[in-house]
Structure 1
Amino acid sequence: MIRDYFRVLVVDLGSGKGNVVKVDGRNEFAGGSGLGALLFDKYGHVDRPWDDPDQPLIFSIGPLTGLFPLMSKTVCSFKSPYHDQFAESHAGGRSALAIRFADFDALVIKGRAPRLSCLSLGMRHLEVKDVQFLAGKDVFSTGKILRSMFPGSGHRSILRIGPAGEKLSAMACINADTYRHFGRLGSGAVMGAKNLKGIVIQGDGSFALPENKEYSKIYGQVYEKMTATDMMSKYHNLGTAANLDALNELESLPWRNLQATKDEKITGITGKKFADDTLLRNAACAGCPVGCIHIGFVREKFMEDNQYLYRQVAYDYEPIFATGSMLGVTDAFQVLGIMDEVEKGGLDVMSGGVALAWATEAFEKGLVSETETIVPLAFGDAEGYKKAVQYLSNAENEFYAALGKGSLVAAAKYGGEDFACVLGQEMAGYATGEAFYVAEGLGFRHSHLDSGGYSWDQKNDRKDADEVCDFLISDETGRAFLTSMVSCLFGRGVYKDEVLAECLRSVGYDEIAENMELIGERVRAMRWKIRFATGYNPDEISIPKRYNQIKTWKGKTDPEYMEKLKNEYGRRIRELVSDEALEKLNLK
């Protein structure tokens, strides 16, 4: 049933050929995040730019994928166009099970296709097909055409990019099966640089489930917790959109480029408002019984024949923050309309929304004009933002091309660096306090999910840098192991350490079960080792002045404390890759 190595498909887009290789390290790196780092260490080039054809684009899954609920995500590892350093992005959908049923633990894609192409692969086939006619097509049109070109059902996953990826925007994402995304740090541009419009993964094989009683027992227990208790019900009901109202009440919801953290107009974009007025249905990633994907609708009228088109748009907290409160848009249907344009262009919604919020304030302050923005930008103007999203996706002019490289890149050219809401990359939607600002700003993925910094802020008002750093460092270890499984982090309340260990033992991964904490530490250190080798320096990361002006339930940000916390966290991260630490983990 199990294997103590990784089975990896390595594809060369230039030749159109691939080969299956055996990579050791299962018991040391588990899979997912650990495997992605291991494979980048093997196939990547720390001293070459992100768009070098030989740089790998890696998709990896975990040891429990296909065996337990919510083990449903895929990790994408690459060198990022945003900062030219090692990066990682996660997505749900069907890709994890498709890779599992194709009998691979990971895909490594190297080289550059001669023309815009689609890679189709499975257990029994590999093809690089010319799709030059899809150049410039949006994500939805591309998906529709690829589905007809590569028919299949069940365990088939279609990954694709939109115009943003083809334009090599650092904000370009990879759309996974329409409603999920490898969103952050520009994975879509990596596909674009490889002339890769789409990837079709056919899970055309099969595998037997364990027949022992231990597996059936622990599977039943996990499944029951996820479906017959209220542990996961919040994700199915209102979903993460429920956070809008709660964070607004805590004075922690970014409004209008973080010029405020609370606004009474929240009533138009709460989770309940979206559910009551816009929700069509719930959906789920393959292998997940929870159904946390909330799909709303937008209606488009064609004036010439008075007909209407309905479009389905997935929403949750982060997209609503980025295209709603951050832009001052307070109508649920207008928010979905902006999201729809973001989806078509193939942009990361958080990066795109936050970047346009900066652009709006820059426009208001006279730093840029319609010469740059083409359309006047104003907080609350949904129609203007829908057009601006198109311009950003297509790098329409010099301004939008610069903005697509990051808000700070545009701000360095046009001014306004003090109010660029960037924490390593465009911020996630948690204006909760110093712990979060530092954790996202310096964290490995610059993600709110790297650690529980945002959660710490909501529960603590103590200003103890050592205490916060102890928490962040400890929390990151467990999350690194979970993302090596690869578990949806919504399931971390169910997959406590003892439960995970039972799951692993039930399918034969006894050594992984016995060394979970050690593996988490090793994976974390390996990722940071590569990140430093590609240019990461915590001392060079600054937190813009806008964050010094924020007021939350705890009061106004304390700049002196935040600087102390930033310096201490940077020091702790450096310790993770010290010679002594790496030698202890056999990574030197």
Structure 2
Amino acid sequence: MIRDFFRVMVVDLTTGKTRLKEIPGRAEYLGGSGLAAHLFREFGHIDRDWDDPEQPLIFAIGPLTGYFPLMSKTCCAFRSPYHNQYTESYAGGKSALSLRFADLDALVVTGKAKRLTAVCVGSRLVDVRDVEYMRGFDAIQTGRVLRKIFPGSGRRSIMRIGPAGENLSAYACINVDTFRHFGRMGGGAVMGAKNLKAICVLGDRGFDLPEGKAYPKLYKHIFEQLTTTEMMAKYHGLGTAVNINPLNALKSLPWKNLQQTSSPEAEKISGETFADDTLLRNAACAGCPVGCIHVGFVREQFQTNNQYLYRQVGYDYEPIFSCGGMLEVTEAPEVLRILDVIEKEGLDCMSAGVALAWATEALEKGAISENETLEPLKWGDSETYMRAVEHLGRQDNDFYRLLAQGTMKCAKRYGGEDYACVLGQEMAGYATGEVFFVAEGLGFRHSHLDSGGYAYDQKHDEKDVDKALNFLLQDGRERIVLNCMVGCLFSRGVYKDDLLAEALESVGYGELNGSMEDIGRRVQRMRWRLRLEMGYRPDEVVIPKRYTEITTWKGPVDVDYMDALRRAYAAKIMEMGAPPEDEGTQAPLSTAKKTPS
């Protein structure tokens, strides 16, 4: 049934009470990113820190979820432990479709349980379990147990944390089903602060598909676009790991803590090498026919006999960059072994790899010693890095406790800020140049997916600040619309505005067609306003010195151009975050301002 309101389940872990709310605003916020920000306005607190029990953890889907292929993501929103401001993270797996089959547009979790808890949510039930016995369980072990205590069909999605989340690491992730994650900005720590080990979403009812000929005809057209053309071939074939060799050729591949932007060793961890030497199979998120998830294997021999244990490990470009090139680990199976440990600990692989790369250089330069690292960190030494990941996840000493709060925070204590590869958070894998460094450094969630700055750098060698700024603003706004749907960004080449309008029309949301650009602008403003109210100052962002020292295909980084773009983008963010006239009736969360921790 098409409805003009959002159906939201609110679970209060402190009281154990649950309620369903019908919240208006479909035409204003669409769903996904817009709905999540709207819900944070209702349930969040601007004058309380990220770990206050009453701060919400929000999961939201969009109006096309379950109706069209690749509308398969969930938006997770929260106040981040990384910078104590509002943020988002996205994941696939079965989470989105499970929420649709549970007849929910969003799930909001507030409060804090007295003991470690797991929650199962469906359309007809909420089951809260004491799982204190699972404290310290790694994320893989946790998943095995949860699948037994919360039985269900293929419409069940299990989201859980590992030790890193329990220990409140600022980049603890939420592991989703198998091989997917709410990876960035510390959603796992938010669950840990709530004593919430896991959430099971049980899709325990069906939903009707639109009647008439328009919907099945359009579905077939979109399905064919995604499966029979070359548009999505890259993602199914070698996957995003195919980026290794081209970025290396462009001198845009971060290597050895960004001391280099290319290496003759890169071929050893290329997408082609991973496919030849490690690939077991492809997998896909629920509702996706593409199959971009690439699953490799690691093999370990038991010490007592000649038998081997094989484990499956997902990989794509970002994990390979962070735990391969940044650590100069140049054997594909060894990269997978590091990723396997990161998966168990429940850490974001990009932040973990970049943090350990900084620690390795800091150890080399004498800023820290083995008294801090507990291991003789050395480029290419996968065994040592695997042990360091465990130290990081379990925060075995003061150094790792601080490193788990962010590389730059650790560098401010021990030294080495100049070579901390942090752009708002530990960098993504694109040393493409000035536009990307500004885009991620100042971007809303400090993600390479906030906008296509990395792609702009690869296509433009001119240094036109206005042109680059207009691209960042327009491209970011278009991505926000897809994030309100909540579609996989891999599909943005298919789901252009006219096709999204036709899709909305076919499922009964035709009245939204002409207002999508307005919705994108509204959500863009609302999200920036939330961050600015929580203390974000884009005009004070500093891009570390390491980014000024590199050379790409265009030559040395132009510091003056980068700084001019940084200042221009910061001014636009401040402008977008100012209270707009058409939201004058909407009161801010609080007049109190909170200094980021």
CA drift at 1:465: 1.2
The aligned residue for residue 199 of structure 2 is 199
Alignment of 1:270-289 (within 5 A): 270-289=270-289
2:475 alignment counterpart: 475
Pairing of 1:530-549 with structure 2 (within 5 A): 530-549=530-549
Post-superposition offset of 1:153: 1.6
Q: How does 1:86-101 map to 2 (within 5 A)?
A: 86-101=86-101
* Distance apart, 1:161 and its partner CA: 0.2
- 8 Å contact kept, 2:539–2:571: no
More displaced 10-residue stretch of structure 1: 524-533 or 253-262: 524-533
Q: Deviations over 1:466-494 (max 9, x none)?
A: 11111101111110110000000000011
Matches of 1:46 and 1:353 in 2, distance apart?
32
Cα displacement (A) at 1:583: 4.6
User: Closer, same or farther in 2 for the Cα pair 1:583/1:10, shift >3 Å?
Assistant: closer
Query: Which deviations, in whole Å up to 9, do the C-alpha atoms of 1:304-359 show, x marking residues without a partner?
Result: 23321101000000000000001101100000000001000000000000000000
Corresponding residue SS for 1:198:
strand
Q: What is the SS of the residue equivalent to 1:232?
A: helix
Residue equivalent to 1:228? 228
Partner Cα distance (2:232, 2:467) in 1: 30
Q: Provide the residue aligned with 2:595 in structure 1.
A: none
How do 1:458-469 residues align onto structure 2 when only pairs under 5 Å count? 458-469=458-469
Tell me the CA shift for residue 579 of structure 1.
3.8
Letter in 2 for 1:544: P
1:443 shift after superposition? 0.3
Q: Quick check: 2:91–2:181 contact (8 Å CA) kept in 1?
A: yes
Deviation (angstroms), 1:30: 0.4
Q: Which moved more, 1:428-437 or 1:146-155?
A: 146-155
Question: Which residue of 1 is the match for residue 308 of structure 2?
Answer: 308
Matched residues in 2 for 1:571 and 1:527: separation? 16
Q: Which residue of 2 aligns with 1:254?
A: 254
SS in 1 for 2:471: helix
1:161 aligns to what?
161
Normalised to the residue count of structure 1, the TM-score between the two structures is: 0.99
Partner of 2:401: 401
Find the aligned partners of 1:468 and 1:342 in 2 and give their Cα distance.
36
Native 8 Å contact 1:575 1:581 kept in 2: no
Which residue number corresponds to residue 45 of structure 1? Answer: 45
Q: Which residue in the other structure is 1:129 paired with? A: 129
CA deviation after TM superposition for structure 1 residue 517, in Å: 0.5
Structure 2 unaligned spans of 5+: 589-597
Is the 8 Å Cα contact of residues 53 and 111 (structure 1) preserved in structure 2? Answer: yes
2:108 matched to which residue of 1? 108
Aligned-pair CA distance for 1:540: 2.3
Report if aligned partners of 1:576, 1:582 keep a CA contact under 8 Å in 2. no
| Identity across the alignment (%) | 61
Deviation per CA, 1:375-409: give whole Å up to 9, x if none: 11111111110000000000110000000000011
- Offset from partner CA, 1:263-319 (integer Å, 9 cap, x none): 000111000000011000000000000000000000111112332110100000000
Measured after TM superposition, the shift of residue 582 of structure 1 is 5.5
2:119–2:200: 8 Å Cα contact kept in structure 1?
yes
- Give the AA of the match of 1:237: G
Aligned equivalents of 1:378 and 1:579: distance in 2?
A: 50
CA distance in 1, matches of 2:397, 2:138: 19
Secondary structure at 1:462 match in 2: coil
Q: Distance in 1 between matches of 2:226 and 2:353?
A: 33
The Cα shift of 1:14 comes to 1.4
Report the RMSD for the aligned CA atoms in angstroms: 1.1
Give the C-alpha shift of residue 586 in structure 1: 7.7
Tell me the alpha carbon deviations over residues 503-541 of structure 1, each in whole angstroms, 9 at most, x when there is no partner.
Answer: 000011112212111011111111111111111110222
Q: Deviations over 1:416-468 (max 9, x none)?
A: 00000000000000000000000000000100100011010000011111111
The one-letter amino acid of 1:255's match is: W
| Aligned residue identity for 2:262 | K
Give the whole-Å Cα distance in 2 for the aligned partners of 1:266 and 1:412: 31
SS at 1:515's partner residue? Answer: helix
Letter matched to residue 48 of structure 1: R
Q: How does 1:14-93 map onto structure 2 within 5 Å?
A: 14-93=14-93
Structure 1 SS opposite 2:36: helix
Identify unmatched segments of 5+ residues in structure 1: none
SS at match of 2:231: coil
Shift of 1:76: 0.2
Cα distance, 1:581 vs structure 2: 6.1
Answer yes or no: is 1:324 the counterpart of 2:324: yes
User: Residue in 2 aligned with 1:485?
Assistant: 485
Q: Does 1:186 align with 2:186?
A: yes
Q: Are the equivalent residues in 2 in contact too, given 1:17–1:126 (CA < 8 A)?
A: no
Q: Which residue of 2 is the match for residue 500 of structure 1?
A: 500
Deviation at 1:578, TM superposition (A): 2.7
Q: C-alpha distance in 1, partners of 2:528/2:256?
A: 34
Aligned to 2:211: 211
Q: Is contact 1:244–1:317 with CA below 8 Å preserved after alignment? A: yes
Query: Residue 20 of structure 1: CA displacement?
Result: 0.2
Whole-angstrom distance in 2 between the partners of 1:489 and 1:424: 21
Distance 2:96 2:287 in 1: 9
SS for the counterpart of 2:258 is coil
Specify the alignment match of 1:430 in structure 2. Answer: 430
Residues 26-64 of structure 1: per-residue CA shift (max 9 Å, x gap): 011000000000000000001100000000000000000
- Separation of aligned partners in 2, 1:519 and 1:147: 39
| 2:120 pairs with 1:120 | yes
In 2: Cα distance, 1:326 partner to 1:480 partner: 30
Letter in 2 for 1:211: E
Structure 2 counterpart SS, 1:220: helix
Judging changes above 3 Å, is the alpha-carbon distance between structure 1 residues 585 and 295 closer, same or farther for their aligned structure 2 residues? farther
Q: Secondary structure at the match of 1:330?
A: coil
- TM-score by structure 2 length? 0.97
Distance in 2, Cα, partners of 1:462 & 1:252 = 17
Q: Helix, strand or coil for the counterpart of 1:391?
A: helix
Size of the alignment, in residue pairs? 588
Contact 2:529–2:578, Cα closer than 8 Å, also in 1: no
Name segments (4+ residues, structure 1) moved above 2 Å: 577-588
Deviations 1:1-43 (A, max 9, x none): 2100000000001122210001110011000000000000000
1:226–1:232 CA contact under 8 A, matched in 2: yes
Contact 1:342 1:348 in 2 (8 A): yes
Contact 2:529 2:579 in 1 (8 A): no
Aligned to 2:443: 443
Q: Which amino acid aligns with 2:441?
A: G
Of residues 460-469 and 86-95 in structure 1, the stretch that sits farther from structure 2 once superposed is: 460-469
- Give the match for residue 146 of structure 1: 146
Q: Matched residues in 1 for 2:327 and 2:129: separation?
A: 40
Q: Distance in 2 between matches of 1:410 and 1:580?
A: 38
